[in-house]
Amino acid sequence: MDFKREWARSRDELVQTIRSLGFPDELGEQIAKMLGSPKAMQRMMAYLYNVKPNTAELIVDEALAICSDIDRWREKKASEEANAKYNEMRYFGFDEE
């Protein structure tokens, strides 16, 4: 399945889940945009199914927490990559050319 189709399917499922909790579709659409990926939306839906939050603020707080976790993971991966390159340069030396 291509990414756009998977994203749209996840968005629709997230909107339906938020609607089933009594919130407007627009909230679900904005949360989907904020999360940005099907995997993040699936994580959000797991939260919604398990916690069944009763305020929009709780839903938004969880979405922000998921976004924060994703950002931290990306920063960690970038740091690991930079550290690996630095160690490689130390081990093999600098190219003098």
pLDDT (tens digit per residue) in 37-61: 999 999 999 999 999 999 999 999 9
67-74: long-range contacts, CB 8 A cutoff, minimum separation 24? 67/34, 67/35, 67/40, 70/37, 70/40
Given this model, what pLDDT does residue 1 score? Answer: 61
Q: Is the pLDDT of residue 36 over 60?
A: yes
Confidence (pTM): 0.75
Confidence of residue 96 (pLDDT cuts 50, 70, 90): low
